[in-house]
Amino acid sequence: MRTFLTVIGILGLLSPAFADGPGAEGAGSSLVSPLPPFQLDNWLAGGGETGGGGGGFSDAEKRLSIAGSVGLIFPKSEQAFDIKKSGARPPDWPYYYNNGIEFNASLNYLFMPSVRFGGRLGYEYFQAKTRENKYTVLGTEYTDTYSLGSMNLLTGGVQVDFMIPVGMPSDSWFSMDKGFVEGIVPYLGWEGAVTYRLRVRDEYFNDFSDETYDDEVMRPYCTFINGLHAGVEIRLQGFGFFVEAAYLWYSPPKKGKDMSYMWRWDWMVAAPIRGGVVYYF
């Protein structure tokens, strides 16, 4: 959550760009006044053509884009399940799982310079932590081990982004005649997905009896994810790269998909940090 709020704070620092400055075009331009041009794209292109009223180059034909990203994902929620017949506080998700990794691929459409939407496919993997229990019987030390089992999720969903193309005049941000714009583009968006969580099994090794017990703790099921993300994209000559942070909520499984009638899994919250590349065509 701290990472997400930090990104929001950085975007907040850009807010003075919305205000009138030298060169504003009249009293009616306080909300959509021309912004200072972003010249890094022009410099990297060797001083090539820039358009859009002094900002970054705008190519209305480049509406579609494909993107790929990889990131770390951190389980954050304070409890993993509710125990109906116990008043004790249950362990949290990070008690059972290490930080995970995710891969995403998306196809997007740039409706206008400030609005983009698309679909996303992804894969998430959380590695289970192994717990040890040491004890002594008749002078001999034993160590039992317990692992909940790794968690694998396949996701498919949609996303909508509000973008801030600082390299073009703000009165063109909502023009449907314009599309791809080079330069720095901060954005804030929402993402939602249906997720298929694969079977999760726990494993317990009893060192005293030298036996291993394997049991099912979560049956395969579909759940839902929704959340917010914020990031910055840097575009150059039809392609770009981006970094973003997100905060996501995972709905718990329905009754019958958890460990037993006494146990109910609770909401899981995760905070991924992603980096990737995007190509516009």
DSSP string computed for 130-151: EEEEEEEETTEEEEEEEE---E
- According to the model, what pLDDT value does residue 1 have? 47
CA 246 from centre of chain: 4
Q: Is the pTM of this model over 0.75?
A: no
- According to the model, what pLDDT value does residue 6 have? 44
The answer to whether 142 and 136 have CB atoms below 8 angstroms apart is: yes
Helix (H) or strand (E) holding 247: strand 239-250
Which class in CATH covers the domain with range 2-23+30-280? Answer: mainly beta
pLDDT per residue over 36-74, tens digit each? 343 344 433 433 333 333 345 666 678 899 999 999 999
For residue 60, give the DSSP letter. Answer: T
> pLDDT under 70 in the chain at which residues?
1-60, 82-89, 255-264
- How far apart are alpha carbons 227 and 244 in whole angstroms? 13
- According to the model, what pLDDT value does residue 209 have? 86
* CA distance between the termini of the chain: 34
pLDDT per residue over 240-279, tens digit each? 999 999 999 998 877 655 555 456 677 889 999 999 999 9
Cross-strand pairs, 121: 105, 156
- How far apart are alpha carbons 278 and 233 in whole angstroms? 9
- According to the model, what pLDDT value does residue 20 have? 41
- How far apart are alpha carbons 65 and 59 in whole angstroms? 13
Please state whether beta strands 263-265 and 81-83 pair in parallel, antiparallel, or not at all (unpaired). antiparallel
The answer to whether 163 and 116 have CB atoms below 8 angstroms apart is: yes
